[in-house]
């Protein structure tokens, strides 16, 4: 058996078979909504599942298939599946796993729209959920109910950067017959591979690091073939959150540089963390690469590198945080992450605004918190912009008071 290539090599070559596509070096773009049949009988056979082949791009497309094979390979899954957005991936996976009366156990913090989805399905369809601190094994064990079907985890958690011990929660879930779904967006397959630790399903907002260029909205998931095929035939096909072929083509292009981009994101973030930590206007900073961080050992165990995201709090509250953002010149005030550009946002009023204030505080999302997605620019230029904005905001606020 041929030795499996290293991940950096597989990002470029993957499972793409050039011989099947006329020797095209890069995967072709099949920009079509439908596919013709050689005969009426062939059309019948494909709809009946008696013959393989493409029918309609909502049901499958060759460019999308190449991407799905790529994410399966990178996450070491049996099969991958693509969606029109990260939230289409989250909703399709969860709705395929639960029904009325079931319960989902969730890490204590999640993306704001995931929170909104969980609330919606509980209010309208009677699918319960609870948020818990998953730091202790006994707590996780005690919070799993007889009707718990899914344990849903973000790690690092958005935006607090708290970590969950995947090996621990997966062990407990397996003992109690609960499916483990991990949102791996913040790490990408390059830094963390939950399926290798025993998770059942991994999800990505491919909009972020997998794309890397801020020009695609997309989602991906990977897991066992039978489950992925169930999702493909039900919640993806019938709800319709399918990925467009052109978006898949762009993501395949982005994947080729994922390793070199992630290395640069992490290198820049590590340098900025050290500088921000010493700035007098920063009262708290959270970064998995901080040796004094409570989850530092866990980050070393389950992540290849600490990632490209930093969460920090400025002295004061919402006004001080927004004032600092308004003084930035190069860094862009925008939600999302993983782009070549450095981005900053205020979670309490932006990505997590849908979460009630008291619940945000329980999750650790304060009014003075900012989330920095470190880009690929020269790190000295990023720091210069951060430092001048912190200082300018402090000066303006002190003058106005």
Q: Which of 94, 78, 84 is nearest to 234 (CA)?
A: 94
CA separation, residue 243 to residues 93, 192, 246 (Å): 15, 24, 8
State the Cα–Cα distance between residues 60 and 205, nearest whole angstrom. 20
Considering the candidates 16, 30, 54, 111, report the single residue annotated as catalytic: 111
Helical packing angle, 86-97 and 112-125, nearest 10°: 40
Give the pair of three-digit tokens for residue 35. 């596919």
Nearest partner of 163 among 298, 286, 290, judged by Cα:
298
58 in catalytic set:
yes
Separation CA 262–CA 285 (nearest Å): 21
Query: How many helices (H) does the chain have, and how many strands (E)?
Result: 16, 12
The DSSP line for 87-154 is HHHHHHHHHHH--TT-EEEEES---HHHHHHHHHHHHHH--EEEEE--SSHHHHHHH--TTEEEEEEE
283 as an active site residue: the answer is no
CA–CA separation, 13 and 120 (whole Å): 41
Question: Which residue is catalytic, options 208, 261, 264, 371?
Answer: 208
Nearest one of 315, 330, 312 to 385, comparing CA atoms: 330
Catalytic residue among 10, 58, 256, 275: 58
SS3 73: helix
Distance, in Å, from the CA atom of 114 to the CA atom of 90, rounded to the nearest integer, reads 7
Cα–Cα–Cα angle for 20, 22, 26, rounded to 5 degrees: 85
Q: Assess whether 190 carries a catalytic annotation.
A: no
Give the pairing of strands 201-205 and 282-286: unpaired
DSSP string of 238-299?
HH--PPPHHHHHHHHHHHTTHHHHHHHHHHHHHHHHHHHHT-TTEEEEE-TT-TTSTTHHHH
Which of 102, 165, 183, 247 is labelled catalytic? 183
Q: With the C-alpha atoms ordered 382, 110, 237, 199, is the resulting torsion angle positive or negative?
A: positive
CA gap 69, 65 in Å, rounded: 6
Q: How many Cβ atoms sit within 10 Å of the Cβ of residue 297?
A: 12
Name the residues annotated as catalytic. 58, 111, 183, 208
């Amino acid at each position: 058996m041929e030795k499996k290539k290293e991940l950096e090599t597989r990002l470029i070559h993957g499972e793409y078979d050039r011989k099947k596509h006329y020797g095209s070096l890069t995967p072709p773009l099949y920009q079509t909504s439908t596919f013709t049949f050689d005969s009426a009988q062939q059309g019948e056979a494909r709809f009946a599942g008696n013959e393989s082949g493409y029918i309609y791009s909502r049901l499958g497309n060759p460019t999308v298939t190449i991407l799905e094979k790529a994410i399966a390979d990178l996450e070491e899954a049996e099969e991958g599946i693509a969606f029109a957005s990260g939230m289409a991936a989250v909703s399709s996976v969860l709705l395929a796993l639960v029904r009325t009366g079931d319960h989902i156990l969730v890490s204590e913090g999640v993306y704001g729209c995931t929170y909104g989805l969980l609330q919606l399905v509980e209010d309208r369809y009677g699918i319960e959920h609870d948020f818990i601190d998953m730091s202790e094994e006994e707590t996780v064990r005690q919070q799993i109910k007889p009707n718990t079907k899914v344990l849903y985890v973000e790690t690092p958690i958005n935006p607090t950067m708290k970590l969950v011990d995947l090996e621990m929660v997966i062990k407990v879930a397996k003992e109690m017959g609960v499916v483990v779904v991990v949102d791996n967006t913040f790490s990408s397959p390059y830094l963390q591979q939950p399926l290798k630790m025993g998770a059942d399903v991994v999800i990505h907002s491919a909009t972020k690091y997998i794309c890397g260029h801020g020009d695609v909205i997309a989602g991906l998931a990977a897991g066992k073939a039978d489950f992925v095929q169930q999702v493909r035939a039900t919640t993806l096909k019938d709800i319709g959150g399918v990925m467009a072929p052109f978006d898949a083509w762009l993501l395949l292009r982005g994947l080729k540089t994922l390793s070199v981009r992630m290395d640069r994101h992490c290198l820049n973030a590590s340098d900025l963390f050290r500088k921000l930590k010493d700035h007098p206007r920063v009262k708290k900073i959270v970064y998995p690469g901080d040796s004094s961080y409570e989850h530092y050992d866990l980050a070393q165990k389950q992540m290849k590198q600490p990632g490209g995201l930093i969460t920090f709090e400025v002295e004061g509250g919402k006004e001080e945080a927004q004032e600092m953002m308004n003084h930035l010149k190069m860094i862009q005030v925008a939600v999302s992450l993983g782009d070549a550009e450095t981005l900053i946002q205020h979670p309490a009023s932006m990505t997590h605004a849908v979460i009630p204030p008291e619940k945000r505080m329980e999750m650790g999302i304060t009014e003075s918190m900012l989330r920095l997605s470190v880009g690929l620019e020269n790190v000295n230029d990023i720091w210069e912009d951060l430092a001048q904005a912190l200082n300018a905001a402090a000066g303006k606020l002190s003058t106005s008071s």
